[in-house]
Structures are given as structure tokens and as C-alpha cells.
């Protein structure tokens, strides 16, 4: 990896930007053999899960089908941010290249910034394709508004931030792997992503009003439908707080390395 600098002093916006671009190239090169796997994972989690829901019933009411379809973006985002991102960090630890990563002659925050941009970008094609396939499967006409763009970006950044934060904060890859599997299991089976939160018992719904998954689906669903969801300001706030909390964890992890 080549770091371009205009001066011998490693500081300033030009140096930071060049370092960020170099890290982005480095990370993309490291993932080049995994891109097909990433695409398949998103489709299986997004459109795949939506299609499977349809096998349980001969007929699905339109409102229920709309919930399923508009839940696919969240189902596609979660495996990238909360499984693939920690998986990459785990692989660095297992390959004993983790310390090498932090020793690269770049500002440490460019490592985090590269991860956020790269994995958010990787999530977008899967989100779009999963949504199209699911909408076609259930013959749902969506009402797409401009607000879906910041909603998807915020949800993806939040998921990437959480995955990046706990993967770097936990030194033991086996514990990270356990957490990743628990998150995927929780989102697939026990999160109100593809169905209304009102279907849950009150105590379980209260838990999910603190966790980010329901709110991720809520803000995205709000940009794809009209009159189907409520409490969007609260959902944006919760997702934003989870993202800020994750960034604080990332800053702590970055700052403690010497």
C-alpha cells in the first residue's frame, strides 16, 4: 500500500485524504475474493427470508406482505454491518495481521472511515436487489420517497459502527463470533423487522424499542410507504444514538492502542 504525501510532515487534510483513499484501496483489495459471498449473503438474508415467509401461508394480506417487503433492506444490511465487518476483524486476529493493520503509516481514524464507507457501499446493491425481488414476489407497489436514502444510509452506518466497535473492543475472536451469531439469530427470528412490533408481548416490544433493529426497519419503511409507520422521529433518534455510541466505542478502541 502506497501512502502519498506532499511533505515529510504527516498531517493536514491532504495527508488525511490520501491516507483514507489508500486504506480504502487496501480494504477493497483484501475483500476482492469475498464480494460474491457478500452479495449472496445479502440476498439470502433479504429477499431469501422474505420469500420463505410466503411459504408459510397460501395467502398473505397486503399489509402483512408490505411489512415483509419493506423489512428486506434491514435484513440485507444487518449481515454486512454486524457479521461481515466483525468477520473481517476476526480474520485479521486469527491471521495475526491485526497489529500490522494498526501499524500502517496512516491516521488511525482513516482505518475506521475506510471500513464505514466500504461496507456501507457494499450493502447498497444488496438492499436494492432484495427490495426489488421481494416487491416482485408479493406484487407490492411501494411509495418511495427521498427520505429512504438517508434512512438506508443511517441504518447501514449504524450497523457498520456497531460491528466495527464490538469487534475491535473484544480481543477474543470466539466471543466475537458468538455475538455475531446471536445477533443474526435475534434479527431473523425475534425482531419486529418483517412484521409489526405490536405482534409482540408488551415486555418484548419494550426491549426492541431500545434495541436498534426495529427502529432501523421503521425509518426505512417510512421512506417506502405512506401511513404505515409511526414514531419516525423517535426511531431516527434511537438509531442515531446507537451510531454515536458505537463511534464513541471506536474512538476508545483507537485511542487506547499505542
Residue 2, domain member (yes or no): no
**What's the predicted TM-score (pTM) here?**
0.88
Say how many residues make up the chain: 258
* Residue 153 in this model has a pLDDT that exceeds 70: yes
* Residue 85 in this model has a pLDDT that exceeds 50: yes
Residue 58, domain member (yes or no): yes
- Residue 256: CB atoms within 10 A of its CB come to 9
Q: How many domains does one find in the chain?
A: 1
Residue 25, domain member (yes or no): no
- Residue 200: CB atoms within 10 A of its CB come to 17
Query: Could you give the CA distance from residue 91 to residue 1 in angstroms, rounded to a whole number?
Result: 19
Phi, psi (5° rounding) for residue 257? -80, 135
Choice between 2 and 159, residue whose per-residue pLDDT is larger: 159
- Residue 140: CB atoms within 10 A of its CB come to 18
* 96 phi-psi bin (left φ>0, alpha ψ -120 to 50, beta other): left
* Residue 67 in this model has a pLDDT that exceeds 70: yes
Residue 195, domain member (yes or no): yes
Tell me the CA distances in angstroms from 106 to 69, 118, 167, 230, one per residue in order: 42, 17, 20, 44
Phi, psi (5° rounding) for residue 155? -65, -40
User: What does the longest C-alpha to C-alpha distance in the chain come to?
Assistant: 68
* Residue 246 in this model has a pLDDT that exceeds 90: no
Which among 104, 101, 84 has a CA at the least distance from the CA of 92? 101
Q: Tens digit of pLDDT for each residue in 108-120? A: 888 888 988 888 8
Locate 132 and state its grid cell. 426489488
Query: Could you give the CA distance from residue 59 to residue 175 in angstroms, rounded to a whole number?
Result: 41
Q: What is the per-residue pLDDT for 9? A: 55
Residue pair 239/247 in contact (Cβ under 8 Å)? The answer is no
Choose the weakest-confidence range: 50-59, 212-221, 241-250: 50-59
Domain that holds residue 129: 34-256
Residue matched to cell numbers 495527508: 15
- What mean pLDDT comes out for the span 40-50? 75
Q: What is the per-residue pLDDT for 215? A: 96
Residue 196, domain member (yes or no): yes
**Could you give the percent of the chain with pLDDT greater than 70?**
94
What confidence tier does 210 reach under pLDDT thresholds 50, 70, 90? very high
Residue 231, domain member (yes or no): yes
Residue 85, domain member (yes or no): yes
Locate 18 and state its grid cell. 490520501
Q: What is the per-residue pLDDT for 49? A: 76
What confidence tier does 5 reach under pLDDT thresholds 50, 70, 90? very low
Residue 19, domain member (yes or no): no
Amino acid at each position: 500500500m502506497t501512502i502519498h504525501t506532499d511533505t515529510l510532515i504527516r498531517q493536514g487534510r491532504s495527508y488525511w485524504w490520501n491516507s483514507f483513499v489508500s486504506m480504502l484501496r487496501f480494504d477493497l483489495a483484501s475483500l476482492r475474493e469475498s464480494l460474491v459471498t457478500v452479495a449472496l449473503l445479502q440476498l439470502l438474508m433479504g429477499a431469501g427470508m422474505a420469500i420463505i415467509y410466503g411459504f408459510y401461508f397460501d395467502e398473505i394480506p397486503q399489509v402483512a406482505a408490505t411489512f415483509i417487503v419493506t423489512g428486506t433492506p434491514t435484513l440485507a444490511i444487518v449481515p454486512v454491518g454486524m457479521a461481515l465487518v466483525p468477520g473481517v476483524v476476526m480474520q485479521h486476529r486469527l491471521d495475526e495481521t491485526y497489529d500490522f493493520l494498526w501499524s500502517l503509516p496512516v491516521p488511525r481514524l482513516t482505518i475506521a472511515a475506510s471500513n464505514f464507507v466500504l461496507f456501507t457501499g457494499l450493502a447498497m446493491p444488496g438492499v436494492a436487489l432484495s427490495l426489488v425481488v421481494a416487491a416482485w414476489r408479493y406484487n407490492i407497489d411501494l411509495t418511495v420517497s427521498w427520505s429512504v436514502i438517508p434512512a438506508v444510509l443511517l441504518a447501514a452506518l449504524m450497523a457498520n459502527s456497531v460491528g466495527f466497535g464490538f469487534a475491535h473492543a473484544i480481543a477474543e475472536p470466539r466471543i466475537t463470533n458468538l455475538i455475531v451469531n446471536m445477533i443474526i439469530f435475534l434479527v431473523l427470528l425475534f425482531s419486529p423487522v418483517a412484521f409489526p412490533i405490536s405482534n409482540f408481548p408488551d415486555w418484548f416490544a419494550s426491549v426492541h424499542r431500545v434495541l436498534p433493529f426495529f427502529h432501523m426497519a421503521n425509518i426505512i419503511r417510512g421512506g417506502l410507504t405512506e401511513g404505515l409507520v409511526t414514531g419516525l422521529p423517535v426511531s431516527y433518534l434511537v438509531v442515531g444514538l446507537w451510531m454515536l455510541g458505537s463511534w464513541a466505542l471506536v474512538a476508545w478502541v483507537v485511542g487506547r492502542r499505542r
